[in-house]
Amino acid sequence: MINEKRLAELFERLVRIDSVSRKEGTVSQEIRRIFESMGAEIYIDDSGRHTGSDTGNLIARFKGSRPGAPPLFLNAHMDTVEPGEGVKPEFSSGVFTSDGTTILGADDKSAIAIIVEAMRMVTEKGLPHGPIEVVLTTCEEIGLLGARYLDYSLLEARYGYALDTFDTEAIITRAPAANHFRFTVHGKSAHAGAEPERGVNAIAVAARAIAGFTSGRVDEETTVNIGSIECAGATNIVPDRVEVRAEARSHDPEKLARVTDGIVGSFKRAAAEFPDRDEAAGLPDVTVEVENQFPATNIPEDHAVVRIAKTAGKKQGRELVSKKTGGGSDANIFFSKNIVTGVIGTGMREVHTVRENIRLSDMVKTVALLVEIIGVASAQDKGSK
């Protein structure tokens, strides 16, 4: 029987601990104390020197009771988005919310509470299990940085689960790759009222570039978003610099490459063909930076990750379905490191807003599913794929 009161109390305690990205140290210490009391071996890697966090990723290793079972990987992230300081959780009619001035932090502290409660059940009841590696990352919300700089030499598991979505009746098996763009458009300043013709308007160049490609949903597999346009200056000055940040995502790597080329090409053409160019100064000009934020994931239906989760669901009378998502998570980075990671839900809703909420009953369901997954996984052998 799942201890709902203990689960709820732990979740409330965790969300009250501030842990916005790069400030996960205090919550990491609390989680470390809990896992050590359960007999886990704890490791904190040195990723903080790369991410800027005040701590590294936390790895809790539980020895297996089933010889020959392959190690299982469980993941959540410790950081939250803003406004995430001074969270005051409220609980009414079975639902957790904040007081409306901050996010709640169910993304992703519901996952941490669920993993802790599942491991408590496994250890307290002496349930059979293989080796389990719990990996709690930092800085997930600002570019999956903790997972990027995780010390993978500390891990043996080749498959497992990230708890970082809302749907408790699904396993995410497909997620897109994403490219991040930063375009810096260089123009020429001038007095906008007295001699505008002497200037080169960087904002006008950027506008032409953005108008040259499709944003939003490109097709069922591909999206493009203009995230920010920044330009400091007064209305009476022709702007000489603007920075545009954007992203493109696709489940198809070839489509992502084509869309990327199209976006970059649009900015370059807008600069080269701008009608008010200052040829002598070589303006406008554009600086282009493209970074792959994360690779795509695509887990076959016959992989152990999918089979184990669906078998565990059936044991509880549930039919888990495989789904694809448009979002990215630590699972994308793990997949690129040959750790096949399915994503399962905790029930968190309206994340990244002050309306964020989660039902305790959904968290309980996911604890039960996770305990079942651990049991099914323990019956596998090291050759299972």
- What CATH number has the domain bearing residue 113? 3.40.630.10
Are residue 84 and residue 152 in the same domain, yes or no?
Answer: yes
What tens digit of pLDDT does each residue of 48-61 get?
Answer: 999 999 999 999 99
Measuring CA to CA, how many Å separate 80 from each of 14, 107, 214, 334? 11, 7, 31, 20
- Is residue 207 a part of any domain in this protein? yes
| Last residue of one domain, picked from the residues 272, 294, 316 | 294
pLDDT above 60: residue 384: no
**What does the pLDDT read at residue 34?**
98
pLDDT above 80: residue 382: no
**What does the pLDDT read at residue 294?**
93
For residue 245, the domain's CATH number is 3.30.70.360
| Last residue of one domain, picked from the residues 237, 266, 294 | 294
Q: What DSSP letter does each residue of 303-348 carry, written as one string?
A: SHHHHHHHHHHHHTT---EEEE-S---HHHHHHHTT-EEEEEE---
* Beta-carbon contacts of residue 86 (< 8 Å; ≥ 6 apart): 18, 101, 102
Are residue 12 and residue 99 in the same domain, yes or no?
Answer: yes
- Identify the domain containing residue 302 by its residue range: 4-175+296-378
Q: Taking Cα atoms as reference points, which of 136, 164, 97, 125 lies closest to residue 38?
A: 125
* 37 Cα distance to chain centroid: 29
**What does the pLDDT read at residue 67?**
81
pLDDT above 70: residue 383: no
pLDDT above 60: residue 235: yes
Q: Taking Cα atoms as reference points, which of 85, 134, 86, 139 lies closest to residue 112?
A: 134
* Beta-carbon contacts of residue 41 (< 8 Å; ≥ 6 apart): 60, 61, 63
Q: Residues of the chain with pLDDT > 90: what percent?
A: 97
Are residue 280 and residue 356 in the same domain, yes or no?
Answer: no
Q: What DSSP letter does each residue of 234-302 carry, written as one string?
A: -TTB---EEEEEEEEEESSHHHHHHHHHHHHHHHHHHHHT-TT-BTTTTBSEEEEEEEEEE--EE--TT
How many structural domains are present in the chain?
2
Q: Which positions are catalytic? A: 79, 140
Are residue 283 and residue 326 in the same domain, yes or no?
Answer: no
- Is residue 24 a part of any domain in this protein? yes
Are residue 313 and residue 362 in the same domain, yes or no?
Answer: yes
Are residue 248 and residue 208 in the same domain, yes or no?
Answer: yes
- Is residue 187 a part of any domain in this protein? yes
- Is residue 373 a part of any domain in this protein? yes
**What does the pLDDT read at residue 126?**
94
Angstrom distance (rounded) from CA 376 to CA 311? 7
Are residue 160 and residue 128 in the same domain, yes or no?
Answer: yes
| Last residue of one domain, picked from the residues 238, 259, 294 | 294
- Is residue 383 a part of any domain in this protein? no
Are residue 54 and residue 93 in the same domain, yes or no?
Answer: yes
CA angle centred on 214, ends 212 and 215, rounded to 5°: 120
Are residue 347 and residue 210 in the same domain, yes or no?
Answer: no
What tens digit of pLDDT does each residue of 127-145 get?
Answer: 999 999 999 999 999 999 9
Angstrom distance (rounded) from CA 355 to CA 336? 33
- Is residue 385 a part of any domain in this protein? no
Angstrom distance (rounded) from CA 231 to CA 192? 15
Report the pLDDT averaged over residues 208-226: 97
Are residue 229 and residue 100 in the same domain, yes or no?
Answer: no
Are residue 50 and residue 157 in the same domain, yes or no?
Answer: yes
What tens digit of pLDDT does each residue of 275-295 get?
Answer: 999 999 999 999 999 999 999
Q: Taking Cα atoms as reference points, which of 124, 135, 171 lies closest to residue 45?
A: 135
- Is residue 105 a part of any domain in this protein? yes
State the first-to-last Cα distance of the chain, in angstroms, to the nearest integer.
31
Are residue 45 and residue 166 in the same domain, yes or no?
Answer: yes
**What does the pLDDT read at residue 361?**
98
**What does the pLDDT read at residue 385?**
56
- Is residue 57 a part of any domain in this protein? yes
